[in-house]
Amino acid sequence: MTESTPPSGLLPSELLTEAGEQLFWTLNSLILRPDQASFSALELRTLGQDRFREHLLNWDVPLGQLVERGLLLKDGHHFTFGPDAEPVLTAAMAHFFGKTLVGLAASPTFKQYNERVHGQDLSQFDMADMAQLSALLGALHLSPNDTVLDLGCGLGGVCEYLQAQSGAHFTGLDFAPPVIAEAHRRTAGHPRLHYLVGNMDTLDLPNASFDAITAVDTLYFARNLPYTVKRLAELLRPGGRMGLFWSVKPNAGQPRQGPDNTRLAAALKATGLPYTTTDFTVSELALWQRSLEAAEALEGEFKAEGLSDDQLNVVLEGRRMLENPEFHSRFLYVVQS
């Protein structure tokens, strides 16, 4: 089985600075929103402020470089993405995900943090707690003969856990080569665990090749969610199942989303496949609370280990996630083909 790797050669090394990294994360959230074809410097900065808070850096240099390279087109105070921006953004995101995740996985304090938050270190990044993973396994009824695709597997710890619990054959796919290298390193020779560099925007895999698909907090990153969900449906064999986690944190003032009016629900409806949902909003908020308490308790140790501001921001994400908790929602979508 092969998959196309992200075009990392497209990524100019001059953009791989900390300020460039912040800018790319922010641009990535914009390119994912079809209503944001054009945006002002102020809108961009406000998004950055929301995400990076007191760690927000000056972006003048990377912004100028992106404009110079034609990746951003500037018209007065407004920007649009240049025609070649998308693959560069994908390569940048794969690079930064890889750097952040592999860096955190090497941190002994991150292991302690995960043990406090989840009771078990699977190198997971908040999101699904152990009860949610049990619910996922319970819903998919996996048997040792099943083949499962874990989309956006990250470092693979969750994938390995699901494999060990079910006995099924798992293929973990992620677009960040360093996380796949790390997963390979840890599991080399395992007969039922395979890892693959691949992009959920293309999913260039044979149709009808999996009995089940899991996606633990990854579908948010699909550039064209209806397309990715349609491809996932095509990858399933008849009788196949999907278990997909999806959280929503709308801006203050927007209504809380129910299970049938999320972007994922719309994409699933478009495939015509029936789904059921389980509401995990309450357990997600409890998880963010544990996450914040653990991150604050261990902040000194993280800093002593030399964690970068960006990595620290990832573990302190609970601060942002616990704002306006009444607007949150989180669901497990289980799809039967």
Ligand X SMILES: C[S@@+](CC[C@H](N)C(=O)[O-])C[C@H]1O[C@@H](n2cnc3c(N)ncnc32)[C@H](O)[C@@H]1O
Contact residues toward ligand X (CB under 6 A) are 97, 101, 124-125, 127-128, 152-154, 158, 174-176, 179, 199-201, 216-218, 221
Q: Which amino acid is at 152?
A: G
Cβ proximity to ligand X, 124 vs 163, nearer residue:
124
Read off the DSSP letter of residue 42: H
Cβ proximity to ligand X, 74 vs 290, nearer residue:
290
Q: Kindly give the pairing relationship between strand 329-336 and strand 275-279.
A: antiparallel
Do residues 302 and 265 make contact, with C-beta atoms less than 8 angstroms apart? no
> For residues 309 and 245, what is the distance between their CA atoms, to the nearest angstrom?
28
Closest CB 97 distance from ligand X, rounded Å:
4
Cβ proximity to ligand X, 72 vs 91, nearer residue:
91
Cβ proximity to ligand X, 31 vs 41, nearer residue:
31
Torsion of CA 289, 292, 293, 299, to 10 degrees: 170
176 closest CA partner among 184, 164, 188, 168 = 184
Environment class of residue 161 by beta-carbon count within 10 Å: exposed (0-12), middle (13-18) or buried (19+)? middle
Closest CB 4 distance from ligand X, rounded Å:
11
Cβ proximity to ligand X, 2 vs 46, nearer residue:
2
> For residues 217 and 153, what is the distance between their CA atoms, to the nearest angstrom?
9
The β-bridge partners of 275 are 335
Report the SS3 class of residue 112.
Answer: helix
Q: What are phi and psi of 45, to 5 degrees?
A: -65, -40
Closest CB 120 distance from ligand X, rounded Å:
12
Residue with tokens 């999101």: 127
Closest CB 251 distance from ligand X, rounded Å:
20
What's the Cα-to-Cα distance from 62 to each of 16, 65, 86, rounded to whole Å? 9, 5, 16
Other beta carbons less than 10 A from residue 285's beta carbon? 16
Closest CB 215 distance from ligand X, rounded Å:
7
Closest CB 90 distance from ligand X, rounded Å:
6
Cβ proximity to ligand X, 154 vs 259, nearer residue:
154
- Pair of tokens at residue 222: 């699909």
Closest CB 203 distance from ligand X, rounded Å:
9
Cβ proximity to ligand X, 71 vs 136, nearer residue:
136
